[in-house]
Structures are given as structure tokens and as C-alpha cells.
């Protein structure tokens, strides 16, 4: 009964989405309050039914009901409970169900917390949201139904792809989807505003918390995915310019640009058309990412769906929404009134430059991702890898980072570049010192590396200088400074943290790629190897039995100057049901550097092939994005973004929950 109820709940969610996509739109045109309010209750009910359906699928996976094809294909009765649950979104059907559930969640959040929006705008936003939802409900029900049944249920399931049986997978896809799908809200706002035919500074303020929320989740989701690839795939790499990674990076770049241009629009009523376009592009890139991953156009770890009908269906959705929204944009954009003027050297100017660099780098990634696909369609096999991105994306981003500290230093409307440079003098000095130290200390590696470190330090100290300048700690009496610090809007803190996070991530990336040392060797028990000052002794191998896998664990004793530091136990797991094996790398963290041991094959004469890496400052790569997300969270908690602030207190208050 659970299976069929879940199925029916999904169908009801579709029915509600169809109503939600028409009735409120009609209400907004007719200026009828009751009709417009249908959008609100329908969105909430849609969340209830989509949620029920998702919970039903989880229950089925947990109870190992193999009469459901999806459970049979992706679960196993011996799988640990955690992976029974995460296995729900470790497959195509389940992950699409998660996708629409999150879409329904965002719609319901607008319905519940959107009290500060004008009624007609809210009704239209919810309707547009329901268009997207309807398309995806139909997609799920017709091409990838997670509730399809098997009349004669097999006694045992086929198990989940072992690479996906990992804690990283428990967190990474939901985060990423919260990000991807979160941008659907800014898309819906943009379309609603275009239909309404009026866009003002207020629009930017209304849409910003949603964009910010999506951006935070996407940032964390990408960082999480990169860390998962780092420790689970066993190659020690953390970014492969894999099409699927690019698919998540592109909406992030566009979303970051959107976040910044929305600030200009909110403050100065300028860049309105551009901001609307970015909203559409960001969500379009999210859809494109979904298409690339789900259609099997690109074969990768993620493409567990390789079914042409699905691909064609998603392509249809893609064409419908991107084409439709851009057509609407083309029709309406000229009618939009342009707002505030500004000089080239100003905060606005800096943000325009930021947008320009972000969108161009996004375009290079898009080119690098789609070019091989197009060439393959024309029967040329080629791949675009790191060298391409190092030559295109790299310089663009370096330039962008160089500009980052200047932005917050410039005033709105008309800025003073010389004054900004003077204030950044301290940051410049710090960065030169860092370059000098890095040059003196570095042994080998690229000549660009010290420059990269200098750039990272410049961005970090730039963020600190910004805070120091605003609070005036260096200039005014301490009490005044303290007063100012308390009065500083949280969004200013958020900006500083997010920008510093960029610099920190850059430091990690430069150090890891330049001074990463690697040892590939065949070891016999008792052998000792040296790497980066550590002695690594191979002790031997033992067998162990996991819940649904057999494991060969190798033991390595790590010592430094004869003193034992730690025991590392990388392993190889073989999963009988799928006949696959995974490599579980072992990591030893010292400070923010890591020692990484990953196993290869055993040779015929009893030796064990081992890859050992020493990765200096590698953890900074992920610490940076976490700091950026934290900055986003601070900004989100800023009183200006709290929804419904000017109204009398009454029950739940908007996004305060996100603090």
C-alpha cells in the first residue's frame, strides 16, 4: 500500500501543480485575491504530496520491498541502513524525485514566507514555479517512474553502485539539488516580473535571499562533491573538469554574477535587464546540467541513466523553458525602464566588471563542456581537459581575484581608484612579502606559484583591510570603533568572509598543485618508503567482512624522525552482488595538509602497488568554500534580507530560520 500511495501522491502533486500553474496566473490578470491565493495553498499542498511520495520511496528502500523495480535495482537487504536511505537518490528515478521534492519545497517556502511580496507577483512566481514542476512531474511519471512494480518480486536486490555507497553521497546530491533547484526561484521571479512588465529595485531585494540561499547550497554541494571525488575515487585529484563537475560549476559562476548584479539593482535601480537575463541564464544552466547528467549524453560516473527517451524529454523541457523565457525576455526587455547612472570607476563599475569576468569564464566552461559533445556528434573523438581551462579559465579568474579587493573599497556612483589603492596598500605589501617568502622557500615547481600565493594573500588581506576601514579601528578611538563594529551590517561581514574564502581556496589550490609529492611503488610487508619527511612502513594485509562487502585492509605505519605518528589503513572492498570493487583511500591530516594512501593491484609475486601522495595545504581548497558559504549565511541573516521585517510580528518570520 505504501508503494501505491506514494505513486498516487506523486500523481496528485502533478494535478495540483497543473492547477497552480494556471489559476493564480489568471487571478493576477483578473486582480482577484481568492484566485491568486490558490497558488499559495496549492504550493503548500504540493509540497505535502511530493514529500509524502518521497517519504514513501524511502520507506520502500528501508523495508527492502523488491516488488518496486527501483528498490530491486538499487538496493540490497544487507546494505547498512544509511545507504539504504541515501540509495534513494543514488539512482536516476530517486534523484529526480528528490529534484521535484526540492522544487516543491522552494515553492512552498515562497508561499509560506513570501508575505512581503505584492500579491500579484507572488501569485505569478508560484505559477511559473508550477510550470517547471509540472514538466518534471510529467518527466518522472512517464519516463522514470520510481514506483514501477514487479509482479513477481525477486528475493534479493542488485545493490547500489559501490562507489556511491559513501557518506559523501548522503550529503552531496541533496546540497547540489538545493542549489540547482533554488535558482528556479530567481527564474520564476524573473519570468513573473517580465509578465508583470515592471521591475524595480524592490524586486532585487525580494529575490536576493532566495538567490543567496541557492548559492550557499550550491557552493557547499560543489565543495562536497569535490571532496568526495578526492577521497573516494582514489586518484588524489579533486577537480577533473569532468562535464558533470562543469555542469555544477556553470550555474555557480552565473549565480555568483547574479548575486552581485542584484546588489547593484537593489541599491541603484541599475542593471535591471542584465539581472533578469542572468536569472534566466542561471536556471537555464542548471537545467542544462540536469540534461547533461541525466540524458547520458556524457558518459561518466554520474550517468546512471542512459536512456534516449529520457534525454529527448529533458531536451524538450530545456528547449521549452530556455527558449520560452528568452523569447519573453526579448519581447519585454526593451520596455523596461533603465535606472540609475554611474561612473565607470565606482562600486557599480566594479560589479559590472565582476559580472563580465564571471560570465566570460562561465562561457569558457560551457564551451569546454559542449565542444567535445558536438565534435563527437560529428564523429570526432576528443576531450577538453585541464590544459584548456588553465589557459582560458585560469587567467580570467586570476584577473577577477585581483579585482576582488577593490570592489568593496569603491563608493557607489563615483569611486576614487587612487584612494582605494592607498587603502589597499597594506594588502599589497602583505602580498609582496608572501611572494618573496614563497620564492625563497620554494623548491621547484612553477614560477607562477609564488604569484598565485601572493594573489591569495592579497585577496584575504584585502577582505581584512575592508573590515578595518569600515570599523575604523586604525583611525578612530576604540569605543567609536566598537560601536561601528556592532552597527556594521552583517552583509558586510558576509562579503568579507566570502571574499577571504576565495583567497583561502586559491592558496590551497596553488600549494596542492605545485608542491604535491607523489610516490608510486610496489611494497612487500615490512618495506619502508620515504615521502615528504614521513617514513611509511607497510605492515601487511588483513581480511575483513563488511555488511555487504569483503574488505582487504592494508596497514601502514607512519612515522616522522623515528617517532610513530599514526596508522593508516587503506583498503579495497569488493561487493559481491555487483561484482565490483572500490578503493578506500586512507587520509592522515596534519594541520591542513594531508598524507593520502591509495591501493593499486597486488602483483603476482605478492607485492602491493601503492600510491602515496603528500598534499600540502590541501584542506584549504574545501575550507575556502565553507567560509564562502558561511559568509553567505551571514549575509542572509542581515536584517535587510529578512522577509517581512516591516510588518507587525506574527508567527513565523520569514528567513530568520536560516540564521
For the segment 565-584, give every residue that binds other proteins (CB under 8 A).
576, 579
Q: How far is the CB of 124 from other proteins (least distance, A)?
A: 13
Helix (H, G, I), strand (E, B) or coil at 271: coil
Asked if 222 and 251 touch (Cβ cutoff 8 Å), the reply is: no
Strands 534-545 and 528-531, how do they pair? antiparallel
Can you tell me which of 90, 114, 162, 415 binds other proteins, judged by CB under 8 A? 114
Can you tell me which of 115, 535, 555, 581 binds other proteins, judged by CB under 8 A? 115
Burial-class residue 391 by CB neighbours within 10 Å (0-12, 13-18, 19+): exposed
Alpha-carbon gap, residue 396 to 416, rounded angstroms? 24
At 366, list the grid cell.
560551457
Q: What is the DSSP string of 149-165?
A: B-SS--SS-----GGG-
Q: Which stretch binds other proteins (CB under 8 A): 245-253, 344-352, 502-510, 643-651?
A: 643-651
For the segment 198-217, give every residue that binds other proteins (CB under 8 A).
198, 200-202, 205-206
Asked if 271 and 348 touch (Cβ cutoff 8 Å), the reply is: yes
Q: How far is the CB of 461 from other proteins (least distance, A)?
A: 21
Q: Which residues pair with residue 581 across a beta bridge?
A: 574
- Assess 280 for contact with other proteins (CB under 8 A): no
Q: How far is the CB of 556 from other proteins (least distance, A)?
A: 25
The two most distant CA atoms of the chain are separated, in Å, by 82
Q: Which CB sits closer to other proteins, 116 or 656?
A: 116
Quick note: the x/- pattern for other proteins over 528-567, rule CB under 8 A, is -----------------x--x-x-----------------
Count residues near other proteins (CB under 8 A): 89
Q: How far is the CB of 1 from other proteins (least distance, A)?
A: 5
Quick note: the x/- pattern for other proteins over 26-45, rule CB under 8 A, is xx--xxxxxx-xx-xxx-xx
Three-state SS string over 485-545 comes to HHHCCHHHHHHHHHHHHHHHHHHHHHHHHHHCEEEEEEECCCCEEEECCEEEEEEEEEEEE
Strands 550-560 and 528-531, how do they pair? unpaired
- Assess 12 for contact with other proteins (CB under 8 A): yes
For the segment 598-637, give every residue that binds other proteins (CB under 8 A).
none
For the segment 446-485, give every residue that binds other proteins (CB under 8 A).
470, 472, 480, 483-484
Of the candidates 396, 337, 92, the one whose C-alpha atom is nearest the C-alpha of residue 201 is: 337
At 516, list the grid cell.
604535491
Other beta carbons within 10 Å of 628: 25
Q: Which stretch binds other proteins (CB under 8 A): 65-73, 378-386, 392-400, 608-616?
A: 65-73
Q: Which CB sits closer to other proteins, 308 or 651?
A: 651
Can you tell me which of 77, 390, 530, 542 binds other proteins, judged by CB under 8 A? 77
- H or E element, residue 554: strand 550-560
> 302-307: long-range contacts at Cβ-Cβ below 8 A with a sequence spacing of 24 or more?
302/244, 303/244, 304/91, 304/92, 304/161, 305/92, 305/144, 307/143, 307/144
Considering Cα of 467, then 498, then 588, then 514, what sign does the dihedral take?
A: negative
Q: Which CB sits closer to other proteins, 60 or 509?
A: 60
Q: Which stretch binds other proteins (CB under 8 A): 11-19, 350-358, 551-559, 607-615?
A: 11-19
Can you tell me which of 51, 55, 67, 521 binds other proteins, judged by CB under 8 A? 67
Q: How far is the CB of 259 from other proteins (least distance, A)?
A: 18
For the segment 123-152, give every residue that binds other proteins (CB under 8 A).
141, 145, 147-149, 151
Q: Which CB sits closer to other proteins, 64 or 86?
A: 64
Can you tell me which of 50, 54, 66, 352 binds other proteins, judged by CB under 8 A? 66
Phi, psi of 241 (to 5 degrees): 50, 35
Q: Which stretch binds other proteins (CB under 8 A): 109-117, 249-257, 309-317, 427-435?
A: 109-117
H and E: helices and strands count for the chain: 21, 10
- Assess 252 for contact with other proteins (CB under 8 A): no
For the segment 155-174, give every residue that binds other proteins (CB under 8 A).
155-156
Q: Which CB sits closer to other proteins, 200 or 584?
A: 200
Q: Which stretch binds other proteins (CB under 8 A): 7-15, 346-354, 389-397, 416-424?
A: 7-15
Q: How far is the CB of 204 from other proteins (least distance, A)?
A: 9
- H or E element, residue 397: helix 386-403
Alpha-carbon gap, residue 159 to 393, rounded angstroms? 39
Q: Which stretch binds other proteins (CB under 8 A): 5-13, 425-433, 441-449, 558-566?
A: 5-13
Q: Which stretch binds other proteins (CB under 8 A): 95-103, 249-257, 486-494, 563-571?
A: 486-494
Q: Which residues pair with residue 548 across a beta bridge?
A: none
Q: What is the DSSP string of 600-651?
A: EEEPTTS-EEEEEEEETTTTHHHHHHHHHHHHHHHHHTSTTTSTTTTSPP-S
Q: Which CB sits closer to other proteins, 64 or 593?
A: 64
Q: Which stretch binds other proteins (CB under 8 A): 359-367, 408-416, 423-431, 597-605?
A: 408-416
Q: Which CB sits closer to other proteins, 445 or 472?
A: 472
For the segment 313-352, give every residue that binds other proteins (CB under 8 A).
340
Asked if 351 and 235 touch (Cβ cutoff 8 Å), the reply is: no
Alpha-carbon gap, residue 563 to 535, rounded angstroms? 9
Can you tell me which of 376, 412, 566, 590 binds other proteins, judged by CB under 8 A? 412
Of the candidates 182, 270, 261, the one whose C-alpha atom is nearest the C-alpha of residue 219 is: 182
Amino acid at each position: 500500500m505504501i508503494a501505491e500511495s506514494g505513486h498516487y501522491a506523486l500523481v496528485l502533486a502533478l494535478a495540483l501543480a497543473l492547477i497552480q500553474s494556471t489559476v493564480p496566473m489568471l487571478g493576477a490578470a483578473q486582480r482577484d485575491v481568492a484566485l491568486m491565493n490558490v497558488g499559495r495553498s496549492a504550493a503548500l499542498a504540493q509540497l505535502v504530496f511530493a514529500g509524502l511520495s518521497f517519504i514513501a520511496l524511502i520507506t520502500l528502500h528501508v523495508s527492502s520491498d523488491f516488488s518496486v523495480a527501483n528498490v530491486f535495482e538499487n538496493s540490497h537487504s544487507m546494505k547498512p541502513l544509511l545507504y539504504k536511505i541515501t540509495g534513494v537518490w543514488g539512482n536516476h528515478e530517486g534523484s529526480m524525485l528528490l529534484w521535484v521534492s526540492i522544487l516543491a519545497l522552494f515553492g512552498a517556502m515562497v508561499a509560506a514566507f513570501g508575505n512581503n511580496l505584492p500579491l500579484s507577483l507572488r501569485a505569478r512566481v508560484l505559477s511559473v514555479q508550477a510550470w517547471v514542476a509540472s514538466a518534471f512531474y510529467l518527466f518522472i511519471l512517464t519516463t522514470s517512474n520510481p514506483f514501477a512494480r514487479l509482479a513477481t518480486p525477486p528475493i534479493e536486490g542488485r545493490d547500489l553502485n559501490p562507489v556511491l555507497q559513501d557518506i559523501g553521497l548522503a550529503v552531496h546530491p541533496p546540497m547540489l539539488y538545493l542549489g540547482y533547484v533554488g535558482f528556479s526561484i530567481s527564474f520564476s521571479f524573473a519570468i513573473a516580473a517580465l509578465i508583470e512588465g515592471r521591475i524595480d529595485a524592490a524586486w532585487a531585494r525580494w529575490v536576493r535571499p532566495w538567490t543567496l540561499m541557492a548559492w550557499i547550497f550550491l557552493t557547499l554541494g560543489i565543495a562536497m562533491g569535490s571532496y568526495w571525488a578526492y577521497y573516494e575515487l582514489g586518484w588524489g585529484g579533486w577537480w577533473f573538469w569532468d562535464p558533470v563537475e562543469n555542469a555544477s560549476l556553470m550555474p555557480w559562476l552565473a549565480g555568483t554574477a547574479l548575486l552581485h548584479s542584484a546588489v547593484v539593482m537593489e541599491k541603484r535601480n541599475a542593471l535591471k535587464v542584465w539581472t533578469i537575463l542572468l536569472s534566466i541564464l542561471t536556471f537555464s544552466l542548471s537545467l542544462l546540467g540536469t540534461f547533461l547528467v541525466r540524458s547520458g549524453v556524457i558518459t561518466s560516473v554520474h550517468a546512471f541513466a542512459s536512456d534516449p527517451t529520457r534525454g529527448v524529454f529533458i531536451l524538450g523541457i530545456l528547449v521549452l523553458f530556455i527558449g520560452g523565457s528568452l523569447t519573453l525576455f526579448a519581447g519585454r526587455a526593451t520596455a523596461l525602464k533603465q535606472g540609475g547612472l554611474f561612473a565607470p570607476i565606482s562600486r557599480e563599475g566594479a560589479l559590472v566588471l565582476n559580472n563580465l569576468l564571471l560570465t566570460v569564464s562561465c562561457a569558457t566552461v560551457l564551451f569546454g563542456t559542449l565542444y567535445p559533445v558536438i565534435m563527437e556528434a560529428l564523429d570526432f573523438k576528443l576531450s577538453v581537459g585541464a590544459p584548456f581551462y588553465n589557459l582560458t579559465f585560469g587567467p580570467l579568474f586570476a584577473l577577477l581575484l585581483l579585482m576582488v579587493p577593490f570592489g568593496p573599497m569603491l563608493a557607489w556612483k563615483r569611486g576614487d581608484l587612487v584612494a582605494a589603492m592607498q587603502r589597499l596598500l597594506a594588502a599589497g605589501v602583505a602580498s609582496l612579502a608572501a611572494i618573496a617568502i614563497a620564492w625563497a622557500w620554494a623548491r621547484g615547481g612553477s614560477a607562477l606559484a609564488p604569484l598565485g600565493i601572493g594573489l591569495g594573500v592579497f585577496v584575504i588581506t584585502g577582505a581584512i583591510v575592508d573590515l578595518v576601514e569600515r570599523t575604523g579601528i586604525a583611525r578612530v578611538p576604540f569605543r567609536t570603533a566598537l560601536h561601528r563594529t556592532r552597527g556594521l551590517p552583517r552583509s558586510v561581514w558576509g562579503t568579507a568572509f566570502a571574499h577571504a574564502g576565495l583567497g583561502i581556496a586559491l592558496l590551497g589550490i596553488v600549494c596542492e598543485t605545485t608542491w604535491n609529492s607523489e610516490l608510486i611503488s610496489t611494497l612487500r610487508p615490512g618495506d619502508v618508503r620515504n615521502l615528504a619527511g614521513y617514513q611509511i612502513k607497510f605492515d601487511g594485509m588483513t581480511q575483513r567482512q563488511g555488511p555487504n562487502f569483503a574488505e582487504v585492509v592494508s596497514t601502514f605505519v607512519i612515522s616522522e624522525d623515528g617517532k610513530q605518528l599514526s596508522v593508516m589503513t587503506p583498503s579495497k572492498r569488493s561487493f559481491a552482488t555487483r561484482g565490483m570493487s572500490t578503493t578506500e583511500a586512507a587520509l592522515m591530516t596534519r594541520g591542513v595538509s594531508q598524507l593520502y594512501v591509495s591501493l593499486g593491484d597486488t602483483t603476482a609475486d605478492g607485492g602491493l602497488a601503492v600510491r602515496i601522495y603528500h598534499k600540502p595545504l590541501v584542506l584549504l581548497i574545501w575550507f575556502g568554500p565553507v567560509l564562502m558559504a558561511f559568509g553567505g549565511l551571514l549575509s542572509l541573516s542581515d536584517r535587510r534580507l529578512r522577509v517581512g521585517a516591516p510588518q507587525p510580528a506574527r508567527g513565523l518570520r520569514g528567513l530568520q530560520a536560516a540564521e
